[in-house]
Each structure stands twice: as structure tokens, then as C-alpha cells.
Structure 1
Amino acid sequence: MISAAQFEKEIELIISNAVREDVGDGDHSSLACIPESAKGKAKLLVKDEGVIAGVDFARRVFKAVDPDLIMDVQIKDGERVKRRDIVFYVEGSSRSILKAERLVLNGMQRMSAIASKTAEFADRLRGSNTQILDTRKTTPGIRALEKWAVKIGGGENHRFALYDMIMLKDNHIDFAGGITKAIDKTKKYLKEKNLDLKIIVEARNLDEIKEILRSEGVYRILIDNFNYEDTRKAIGLIDGKCLTESSGGITLETAAKYADCGVDYISSGSLTHSVHNMDLSLKAI
């Protein structure tokens, strides 16, 4: 996984690029009709239900736009919210509040939707030893925000990108000439490059599980698109030799059944690619 410093840099880049994209050479609507000296106050109003996420992101946005803006937080990241709840108040330059408004809302609406979906999965897995993971199926340019939201919702992050973990999937295996060759080539590459990266290998059937187990140095086996019965058989074959992860079309309705099979992790791209933004608004008061 990436370091905390790398993650912070990603968030900074997202904010600076979003401000560049949205503000350009100026918020001319506000500049035209609001005096520079005008002061105002606004509230973040919830018009939906779920888990709120992005409060700390909003704080960073306001600070980036205008360090003199003051936030008064009423509800923290990770708390459940309902309609008409007020998450925070922000006070200061009216122009600055309006300049930051859309970026704050875009980020928080998306993050809250992801956190809410993740919390649903986490609730279904409660009482088991299985954790819910995200994937790289994220929105280009804001992956750090979406993975941050998964953590807020009670999930865990998979690899952040292509550079922080090895994942040998079907195409890698086929292009390399088979599972064993792919693993051997990977271990040789890591040694030559002096890289310390964990190796995950995808299995498409029980025979591939057996072949993976004949190689040393595999951190986790991705049990992809297996039914319940074969997942249990796979867990029996692996027998604690490495960690296990189920993936492939797993839903809220099926997650607990896969957890019952004994997998360590369930990964789901739906946490980030199939959510509907939470309805929030920033209202002047």
C-alpha cells in the first residue's frame, strides 16, 4: 500500500486540480455581484440517509480556497445521517464560500455514497472474519477520495495502483504462458529490481488453486468467480498457506455466504463504480 505521505500528496493534487478546473481565472458570477468585503455563513444540509464522508476533505478544500474560512463541525466522518441533519457550518468571505461550494459538494456527495455502500457490506459481514475490499475500478483522477471513503465506511483498501502490489490476473498468466511461469518471472523481476511487493495470484478453477500452491512466495490467492461449493473446496486446499480473497459479482445478498466459506477478504468494484451520490446541499444562512 502507498504511504500516508503519498496519500496526502494525492489529496493535495485532487484539490488543486479541481480548483483549477472549476475556478479558472475567477468565479466571475460572485466577483460580479458580491462585494469583496462581504461576509457570510452557510450550512451543509443532508437531504438523504446514509454514512457521511468527506468532512475532513471539505475542511481541506476550504483551507485551500481561503485559510480564513472557519468550519464548525456538527457530525464527523463515518457517522450515520438522516434528512435535515446539519453536518457543519462554514463562515467567512462570501466569495470564498461560493468558490469552494461545488468542489465540497461534489467530493462529499460521492464519498458519502461510497461510504454508505461500504457500510452496508461491512454490516453484512459483521461477526465473520471476512473484510470487504475495494478495487481499482475507481473514477479517474479521484481514486484517493474514493478509497478514503471506503475506509470511512468500514472497509479496507486493496492496492492503490499498479505500482504498490503485484496482481497476476488471467491476462498476465495467459501472456506469460501459465501460472507457474508468471509467478517465477515475477519473483525474478522483483529480485532484479530490488522491489518488496506482495504477490496476489488469480485462480479461475480448483486446478489453478493447486498449481498456485506449488509455488512459494504468494501472499494471497484471488478466488475469482467461484460458486459457494468450490470456494469452500478452495479454502480447504489452501488451508491457511496464504490469505484468500473472493471476487466476481459478489453482492450484498451473497457476501455473507462467501464469508461463511471462510475467505479472508471479499473485493467488490461496486463500492466505487455503482453508487448514487448522496443528496447534500450547502445553504446560505
Structure 2
Amino acid sequence: MGATAPSTGQIDRVIDIALSEDVPFGDLTTGAFVPKPAQAQAQLRAREPGIFSGGQVFTRAMQAVDDRVSVDLDVADGAEFAAGDLLAQLHGPARGILTCERIALNLVQRMCGIATVTAKFVAAVEGTGVRIADTRKTTPGLRVLERYAVRCGGGHNHRFSLSDAVMAKDNHLAALAAEGIGLAEAIRTARARLPHTAHIEVEVDRVEQILPALEGGADTIMVDNFSPDDMVQAVELIAGRALVEASGGVSLETVAGIARTGVDVISVGALTHSARALDLGLDFQVGA
């Protein structure tokens, strides 16, 4: 699949928070019902088709309270699977598996859901050369995992944080306008303050803002909530002088039409903020 996975440190920080939330003072049910020496075998199976993401996350979550739990993955991140497919096999101390079951499933189901919906958007624009990108509309604390899931689905990542890239949005521009500062002037001033390697992206919500953005030297112009006709006009006005990113209200029903307008990138908040967790199940094998 090729997408660089999150580091073990990044994964473990998420798991530690999840454990502190779900098992703050021990697992009362498992401790009361399950003998300490008990061993178990279990299988992670898909209950619906999708794209897999989060193998290492699932493994480390399942081993978080007992590293004797063994996890054998049967599918790689980025791979497609069908309903009923075996995704992973586990064996080891039953208490460890039972205590970590929910957090491991929560994380891998969410990641698979994001990878799956991303793959649908990518398929919808196949052949156009347009990139499908995510946004910062992620679950607080889970961005590193959710962004990786987007890559597993064939998508691309936008800036990871406010510290990573320059992107002047509508409220930035409104604050400047209140001070009587025009768009072109604002971009030139920002350019003078930034390192020469910095890429400047500017969001516009009207065709009339495009020429000032170009005059100021924007590297990428995001056309936000433009109609298809306005997107075509924007692409013609920009004429290759900046990258063109489309954003705002993008859906599976509209994304192919947006791609045909000639934009370079389509950013889709729904990849992360609206993705449904995929239905996966962890089934214990009785008498195995």
C-alpha cells in the first residue's frame, strides 16, 4: 500500500488515553468471571466489505495490558476485503484479550471506515488526475490515525496542523478587511515574513477575489463552495498560475463533476468527520 504508518509512540499515546478512559481501575467483569490462567483464541472478521487500515494499531491495542497476546494479521493495510473475510487471528491470555477488545475494535473500525469512504471518493475521480485530500476536521486526539487511514484509502493529506503550512481562510481575510488591508497586499506582506520555502494557500469564496490572490502571489487558491460554472471560470482565470483546490460540500454524488472542472485538488472534510465506523467483529472460538 505504501503509506507510512504512524510511529509506535504515536499509536501508544492514543491507546494509553483510551485505556485510561475505558479501564481506569481495572476490568471488573473480566476479573470476576475469567480465571487468570484461561487462554483464548479469537478471530477478527469483516461483517461488511471495505478497505483495511489499522493493523498495527489493532495489534498494539490488543497487547496493551498483556503482551503475551499474539495477533496474526491476515490482511494488509490498504487491502480490500469482503464481508465474512478473516482479518486477524488472536490467541493468548483471555483476560488480556477481553479487556482490550473494545478499544482495539473502536480504533480499527474507525480507521477502516475512513479508508473505505476515501477509496470511494478516489474511485469516483479516477482518470482525472485530481487528488482527493482530507482536512483538519478530525477527531481530537486521533488525527494521526485518521490521516493514515485516508492514505490507506488512496487519498492524500492536507496540512497536518496550523504549524505545518500557510492557509489564509475566510475569517483571516475578514479580519484583514476590517483593518482596511486588501488581499493582494496581505499576501505580499505575509510572503515577506515567511521563509522562502513557504507555500501560501488562500481561500476565496467569490470569483472577484481570484485576481487579487494571483496578484499577491498565492501558490494555491482554494475555491470554497463555488458552483461548477464558477469553478470552470476560476480555473480559466487562474490559467495554471496557481494550483486550484476545490472545497465545500463535496459528496460522492458531486465529486466527479467537480473533478471535471479542471481543479487540481478536492479537499473533503467528510472523509474524517462523517465516516461511519465499519462493522467488524471479534469472535471467540469455543472449543478451539
Q: TM-score, normalised by structure 1?
A: 0.91
TM-aligned CA distance change 1:16 to 1:189, over 3 Å: farther
State the match for 2:214 in structure 1: 213
Q: Distance in 2 between matches of 1:6 and 1:52?
A: 15
Cα deviation, 1:227-248, whole Å, max 9, x if unaligned, reads 2222122112222222111011
State the match for 1:37 in structure 2: 37
Q: Distance in 2 between matches of 1:76 and 1:35?
A: 34
How much does 1:105 deviate? 0.7
Give the alignment partner of residue 188 of structure 2, picking from 184, 190, 194. Answer: 184
How much does 1:188 deviate? 4.0
Amino acid aligned to 1:53: S
State the match for 1:254 in structure 2: 254
State the match for 2:79 in structure 1: 79
Q: Distance in 1 between matches of 2:9 and 2:201?
A: 26
Equivalence map 1:52-201=2 (5 Å): 52-177=52-177, 178-191=182-195, 197-201=198-202
Cα deviation, 1:171-202, whole Å, max 9, x if unaligned, reads 101101232243234334435xxx95432101
- Consecutive unaligned residues of structure 1, counting only runs of 5 or more, are none
Equivalence map 1:14-53=2 (5 Å): 14-53=14-53
Q: Distance in 2 between matches of 1:32 and 1:5?
A: 37
Amino acid aligned to 1:163: S
Q: Give the secondary structure class of the aligned counterpart of 1:64.
A: coil
Cα deviation, 1:123-154, whole Å, max 9, x if unaligned, reads 01111110101111111221122111111111
Amino acid aligned to 1:187: R
- Consecutive unaligned residues of structure 2, counting only runs of 5 or more, are none
Q: Distance in 1 between matches of 2:71 and 2:8?
A: 20
Residues 168 and 182 of structure 1 are in contact (CA less than 8 Å); yes or no, is this contact kept in structure 2? no
How much does 1:7 deviate? 6.1
State the match for 2:238 in structure 1: 238
Q: Distance in 1 between matches of 2:141 and 2:5?
A: 18
How much does 1:8 deviate? 5.4
Residues 7 and 144 of structure 1 are in contact (CA less than 8 Å); yes or no, is this contact kept in structure 2? no
Q: Give the secondary structure class of the aligned counterpart of 2:161.
A: coil
How much does 1:117 deviate? 0.7
Residues 114 and 275 of structure 1 are in contact (CA less than 8 Å); yes or no, is this contact kept in structure 2? yes
Q: Give the secondary structure class of the aligned counterpart of 1:251.
A: coil
Give the fraction of aligned pairs with identical amino acids, expressed as a percent. 40
State the match for 2:229 in structure 1: 229
